[in-house]
Amino acid sequence: MYSEKVMDHFRAPRNVGEIADADGVGTVGNPICGDLMTVYVRIKDNVITDVKFKTFGCAAAIATSSMITELAKGKNLQDALKITRGDVADSLGGLPPIKMHCSNLAADALHAAIKNYLYKVEKDKESKDAESSAYAT
């Protein structure tokens, strides 16, 4: 049912865990559907320097999470945001059709983590601006 590559990533998932003070965190899915994943990213100079995940779900959910961490590591944010669900499935040698929709959420989780980072950066900037304007008056 699953490709050898999927089974490989399922048996020995890469980059499992949390990043304590991650720059961005993204969670997608829900336990009712059976797949819930959280991706943590560390970002330096617009590049993803570290990425980790935690996933509750089937073998496909775990393998796609593992694969996204490999695909994302070292990429700049613009390129990382271009990684699609299809890219993840292709890198794993394909997924069973029934799993393409429900368990292939890793790209979404990565994007959510990056957006979380970008949002925080934006907020930071706003508060700094507010601070400096406060000093000015």
Partner 1 sequence: MDHAATTRVDPTVVDAMLPYFTQHFGNASSLHAFGREAYNAMETARSKVAKLIGAEKDEVIFTAGGTESDNMAVKGIAFRNRSKGKHIITTKIEHPAIMETCSYIETVGFRVTYLPVDSSGLTDLSELEKAVTKDTILITIQHANNEIGTIQNIESIGKIAEEKNVRFHTDAVQSVGKIPVDVKKARVDLLSMASHKFHGPKGVGALYIRKGVVLDPLVHGGGQEKGLRSSTENIPGIVGMGKAAEIAGNQLVPDGQRVSAMRDKIICKVLEEIPLSYLNGHPTQRLPNNTSFRFDSVEGESLVLSLDNKGIAASTGSACSSKKLKPSHVLLAIGLNEVQAHGSLRLTLGRENTDEEVGYVIEVLPEVVSKMRAISPLWKKKIEVEKWRGKVSVQLEAR
Interface residue list for partner 1 (CB under 8 A): 7, 10-11, 13, 16, 27, 31-38, 53-59, 61-62, 98, 102-103
How many CA atoms lie within 13 Å of 58's alpha carbon, on the beta-carbon side?
A: 17
- Out of 33, 98, 121, 130, which one is annotated catalytic? 33
What is the nearest approach in angstroms of partner 1 to the Cβ of residue 111? 17
DSSP β-bridge partners for residue 56: 36
Nearer to partner 1, 17 or 86 (CB): 17
Catalytic-residue membership of 58: no
H-helix segments, 84-105: 85-91, 97-102
Q: Which of 47, 59, 81, 102 is catalytic?
A: 102
Q: How far is the CB of 68 from partner 1 (least distance, A)?
A: 14
Tell me how far, at minimum, the Cβ of 113 lies from partner 1, in Å.
Answer: 13
Q: Which residue, 58 or 118, is less far from partner 1 as judged by CB? A: 58
Q: Name the strand (E) or helix (H) holding 5.
A: helix 4-11
Rounded CA separation 40/73 (Å): 11
52/111 with CB nearer partner 1: 52
Question: Angle 49-103-77 (CA atoms, 0-180°, nearest 5)?
Answer: 25
* Dist. CA 63–CA 121, nearest whole Å: 30
Catalytic positions: 33, 102
